[in-house]
Structure 1
């Protein structure tokens, strides 16, 4: 497979030249606020590559629009038969256009101390691009937000933090409706139906938002870092590398221990369910694939070279990110085993992935990096749509209803975002 797409698309904005400055487009001119004269950068767009005589675009590919026929749909099963050549579209953009590199946010503005105001050459905004809008900020947690959940049919948002509390927010007013002190750091939060599950040291708390049932599930050794539900089982990834499973017994309104999955040698920090499989990412640098029927490990993926921080099922693909600065896209071969079909490289370690659709129902991937930013990418091209900035790293991203999503960062702040309805085709 041609993996040329692994390189940053921003390195391909124009033909080579001995004077590199003259081949770059002025960011401030694009924003309509360049006040430098003479400006060392171009005040015009670079030309779009033209087809050659054989009808093909030259090897210096352009990046802009995605062929809608090749867009994946959100589906946990790995069974895409619509486009047999879909694997080759990762990291590529169909059609013309240029993906523009995003402006940088002003570090002094982030600290509240920029003296240039509107005349500052850097961005005074929590995001770039025109695809997102910040609705509100929820302040109250004193440490990193480690989990966000919104139970089905509830008008409350639950956020957990390493400050040993879960805060309950009223979705209508945006005000904190309650604080639950738990006596231990929250490692993760999950909602499934009316239930809210909270991972703590040595225990999982379970609350029913409709009946106010309060249960404690014992068995974990150390901190519970990850939770997921699949095949009527609740799975918990723990600090000692074990994955515990419980089954809900409706008649007794309780959870009974069902299994203990062993194989990882270090903490299990991420779990996801898809295609009748459980996928677990660990600090031991590996991803294990478990059958939901037999609860046996059927494959171990060892391509990452550092902690696997997040795994995500999308269409027939598994996506994973790690502190090794890569996002890997896995696809099932004819034998049923997963192999890497594309690797996307970042400049910083990655913390979490979240997949969703934008206001035009196009698939996008949100990738949190440990440089205090979240990249927003189109799929499958990985062309950049924008960035979200935070004072500290974003550890939690959670989908909400009606195009909303939530981010929680290291300062304890939770932000509510919404996809904008008016967007341009290329990033700006």
Structure 2
């Protein structure tokens, strides 16, 4: 593996990309990897579709910096809060029924598809969101499949988006127009940026672009689709299909990066990575989170508690947050001995696909939580009080915050649609005034 991973070719598109994903044996308690990607065609499938039992993003530094937040520990080191879902009507969404009572926090699925005939008399929302303090800014159309990553390289006025349709699109942030389409030989599994660099995880490789100099690299060595990426200032981590995490060191821009290590331990596909508190956290389809020391690259702890694939991990203050297809968001805190333990559980009615954090205009932390019911919920921390919902035609697989001070954040769903949202400071002030 080390020999293969060390091969780096500059300005090379790479050939021989192919699928190495296996369904394995048994399947009763195994998540279907094809369903996870939204393309399982077997009905019935012998593997688990979580609904019957969908990137790593750059570190939100402002979100991590908030202090003095605590969860109260309960006997057994875990408290659970249930969130009731208002989604009804199954796969096709809410049914139109003869009822004059309006549903103020549920979107009309017929309106989303352009087929609602009730207009203003519909009891469900004809809106892309509900709640106060934010609004939809614009939509970016062009991708044809699930968006797997969104990035804004520093020093650039361009937005980069990676998709399962085997393209990376580059958008002008001033006009909202797509100015470039980069075709890739395989689908995109993840996309992030660090400084001027853009990193794209594809099948059996990681593509690297410098948006300022135009330099390109192809890092070979990963097995299968690279579903998650994370970086420090000089090190790139890539999660591979076989459960390994590869680490490359970038010493000089004009020299090939050096393979530092292959981090092994997960027994399933690694889906998410996050770097914080001098640790790297990895979540996997084996239902565990592994904690790796960033200096030694050794696993120092394995966190168990989820009963489904761990889809996203996120550092906030002194806590680690994780979410899973088991429908839960868990908070992990440090013990006096320095280990991490689960201290809080928030439950959703559906599998949770992703987490992202940002601060509102008053500096208060907000958690964005993407669920398999096609909603993104906004929660205040640490209370988990819901302040609103965002709606999409399909599940949101990518969330990214915008540049500091803009109040912008982005969501990308499984249809390929990218939505730009804006935190509304004025709306937030009005809400605070009216409640006082």
Please give the TM-score of this superposition, normalised by the length of structure 2.
0.76
Cα distance, 1:244 vs structure 2: 0.1
Provide the rounded CA distance (Å) in 1 between the counterparts of 2:249 and 2:65. Answer: 21
**Aligned counterpart, 1:227:** 229
- Of the three residues 171, 174, 177, the one matched with 2:176 is 174
Query: Is the Cα contact below 8 Å between 1:91 and 1:381 reproduced in 2?
Result: no
What is the aligned partner in structure 1 of residue 123 from structure 2? 121
CA contact (8 A) 2:80 2:347 kept: no
CA distances 1:114-156 after superposition (whole Å, capped 9, x unpaired): 1121222211100001221111110000100011111001000
> What is residue 378 of structure 1 aligned with on the other side?
380
Instruction: Give the Cα–Cα distance (whole angstroms) in 2 for the partners of residues 404 and 255 of structure 1.
Output: 33
Q: What residue is the counterpart of 2:211 in the other structure? A: 209
**Which 4+ runs in 1 deviate beyond 4 A?**
89-92
Cα 1:231–1:171 shift into 2, 3 Å? closer
Structure 1: 5+ residue stretches without partners: 1-71, 93-100
Cross-structure match for 1:138: 140
The unaligned stretches of length 5 or more in structure 2 are: 1-60, 74-78, 82-102
Whether the aligned pair in 1 keeps the contact of 2:234 and 2:251 (CA below 8 Å) is no
Structure 2 match to 1:19 = none
Residue aligning to 1:279: 281
Matched, 1:75 2:77: no
Q: Determine the C-alpha separation between the residues in 2 that align with 1:359 and 1:180.
A: 36
Q: Secondary structure at the match of 2:230?
A: strand
Q: 2:417 aligns with which of 397, 407, 413?
A: 413
1:293 counterpart = 2:295: yes
Measure how far apart 1:76 and its partner are: 6.5
Match of 1:52 in 2: none
C-alpha displacement of 1:310: 0.1
Partner of 1:88: 72
The structure 2 residue matched to 1:262, chosen from 253, 260, 264, is: 264
Contact 1:91 1:382 in 2 (8 A): no
**Hey, what's the Cα distance between the residues in 2 that align with 1:254 and 1:87?**
45
The TM-score with structure 1 as length reference comes to: 0.77
- Over the aligned positions, Cα root-mean-square deviation in angstroms equals 2.0
Q: Distance in 2 between matches of 1:383 and 1:115?
A: 34
Sort the Cα spacing of 1:231 and 1:149 in 2 relative to 1 into closer, same or farther, 3 A. closer
**How many Å apart are 1:104 and its aligned residue?**
1.2
Change (3 A) 1:254 1:295: same
CA drift at 1:103: 1.9
Distance 1:274 1:395 in 2: 22
Query: How far apart are 1:380 and its partner, in Å?
Result: 0.5
Higher mean displacement: 255-264 or 203-212: 255-264
Query: Do the aligned residues in 2 keep the contact of 1:272 with 1:311 (CA within 8 Å)?
Result: yes
What does residue 345 of structure 1 align with?
A: 347
Aligned to 1:26: none
Q: Distance in 1 between matches of 2:140 and 2:176?
A: 7
Q: In 2, distance between residues paired with 1:266 and 1:88?
A: 33
SS of the counterpart of 2:179? strand
Q: Aligned residue for 2:13? A: none
2:359 aligns with 357
Question: For the Cα contact (< 8 Å) 1:196–1:209, is it kept in 2?
Answer: yes
Relative to structure 1, the CA distance from residue 317 to residue 397 in structure 2 (aligned partners, 3 Å threshold; closer, same or farther) is same
Query: Would the alpha carbon gap of residues 398 and 251 (structure 1) be closer, same or farther in structure 2, given more than 3 Å must change?
Result: closer
Deviations 1:61-103 (A, max 9, x none): xxxxxxxxxxx973279xx5x46xx2229989xxxxxxxx952
Residues of 2 paired with 1:74 and 1:381: CA distance? 16
Residue 60 (structure 1) aligns with: none
Cα gap change, 1:76 to 1:231, in 2 (>3 Å):
farther
Aligned counterparts of 1:343 and 1:251: Cα–Cα separation in 2: 43
